Chains A and B, each alone.
Chain A
Amino acid sequence: MREVAIIASAQADNTSTTTSTPVEMLIPVIQQVLANASMTKTDIGFWCHGSCDYMTGQPFSFVSAVDALGAWPPIIESHVEADGAFALYEAWMKIQTGEIDTALVFGNGRSSSGDINRILTLQLDPYVVGPLWPDDRSIAAMQARACLESGVVTERAMAEVAQRSHRNALTNPKALRRGDHSIEALMAAQLVADPLRELDCPAHADGVTAVIIAAGDRARSLAARPAWIRGIDHRIESQNLGNRSMTSLPSAALAAHKAGVANDKIDVAELHAPYSHQELLLTSALGLSESTTINPSGGALCANPMMSAGLARFAEAATRVMNGTADRAIGHASSGPWMQQNLVCVLEGE
């Protein structure tokens, strides 16, 4: 395996609504990540993009996104209809082939174009679930109830996740939502999708994240302390909600095992868990202990830009390795109902 590291990242401020086009949102972040790495466009061997036409409301919308990169002179680029974290996984594999040494990966989404809870219905089975139009919160709420009634989580533990996330976001200028809430106030808040309350749910946002990865000595020349990808693995649950565990995440546990999470202590974990109870399921599946700092950025409860929230977790984790506040960190991305897909990445300093 070739050694690969994250050497730079950049994020847009998450907003609840924007009138900018996807290209207008992308340009400043692409420019910023190149500047952060002291690189220019010609230094990039491969460009990989994560986005979703359902967010944009336009087929093949990723083609126009290339305008943000500049297609002349010709570039080598690819696209995944997924979070930008999965684009990073593709770029990591592309580097493994030996064809390239550097890649710029980015993800963007404008959740405010439509009703995001309704757009997410379109990712469900189109024949036996989709025609009923269950929204994203209702789907998540059924899982939350199963977790509560089985004793896997408690309402108080969910409130503690919401409290810590919103407190952590106080120091994250990119977050959409932040605040210092008491447990009592969180547990007394109105139910929006019984048993979920507003601050148990993701803060859907319009956002962009970009990351540059590089191989071996190229990475060492570009960053004082690269965040080395020591393990990365992607696993998937069944698409059939009626045939899945509601109280565990076997795919996340398997991905963590394959990525080598348990080989040493984890200082920081940036987890893409859209709902508070899902963070509790995920920390259990990953086998994290209380010594791990979870989501110092505030996580998806405080900003969940579709198609870049996962890559933002990678960027946040890498930043803490690169600035020396963590030696070993996890970047995690998920997608699909009940966190159907899980991508786990272990990052280390040297």
Chain B
Amino acid sequence: MSGGTSEYSIAADGSFTAPLELSYPYKRTVGPILSRFLTGLRDQRIEGTKGSDGRVHVPPAEFDPITGDHLTEWVDVASTGTIVTWSWQPAPVEGNTLQHPFAWALISLDGADTNLLHAVDAGSADAIKTGMRVTARWAAEPSGSITDIVCFDLTSGSPA
């Protein structure tokens, strides 16, 4: 964890305040479902899992939200989609994939039935609207992470 103050200070009541930067430097295994999803991103491929009701979950659900069963059927979805809702990030923070003002959005990828949360490089809040089409911008050096999609760019065109 980071992003806290790095300044020492003395409060009005005389209390001394010092920074405490905690981190979480561990390796974790993400299991078979997320492993396949994240490995796919490294290869510029977005996959989801199909639920018992036929809905395609992206990011993939490990267990069926209705029955609780393991989900094992994979479906390729597009790297293009439609903005379902959005908000504006006027001041990016450490860790954001973009370091200039951008939009957060839930994106309905073509072929998916759930929404993916990601950044949209829209330029300004006036330039983005719900219903606009977007396409993924891939990282130059992928690592098998959700950040292998740097962000989505606004595009023209209709659902694939």
Contact = CB atoms under 8 A, between A and B. Distances in A.
Given A146-B85, A242-B117, A131 B145 contact: yes
A139 B105 CA distance: 9
Given A118-B93, A129-B117, A243-B65, A134 B86 contact: no
A131 B95 contact: yes
Interface size class of B (residues with CB under 8 A): 35 or more
Interface size class of A (residues with CB under 8 A): 35 or more
17 contacts: A19-B17, A115-B3, A118-B93, A127-B38, A128-B117, A129-B117, A132-B147, A133-B96, A138-B87, A138-B89, A146-B85, A149-B85, A192-B90, A194-B88, A194-B125, A196-B87, A240-B61
Contacts of A115: 3-4
Contact of A145 (B17, B20, B86, B116): B86
Given A131-B147, A242-B106, A193 B119 contact: no
Given A114-B4, A127-B34, A243-B65, A132 B88 contact: no
B97 to A, nearest CB: 6
Interface string B106-118: 1000000011111
B23 to A, nearest CB: 12
Interface string A119-132: 10010010111011
B57 interface: yes
B67 interface: no
A132 B3 contact: no
A19 B87 contact: no
B25 to A, nearest CB: 14
A132 B106 contact: no
B1 to A, nearest CB: 7
Contact of B89 (A122, A128, A193): A193
A115 B2 CA distance: 9
Interface string A238-252: 101111001000000
Interface string A1-24: 000000000000000000100000
A132 B118 contact: yes
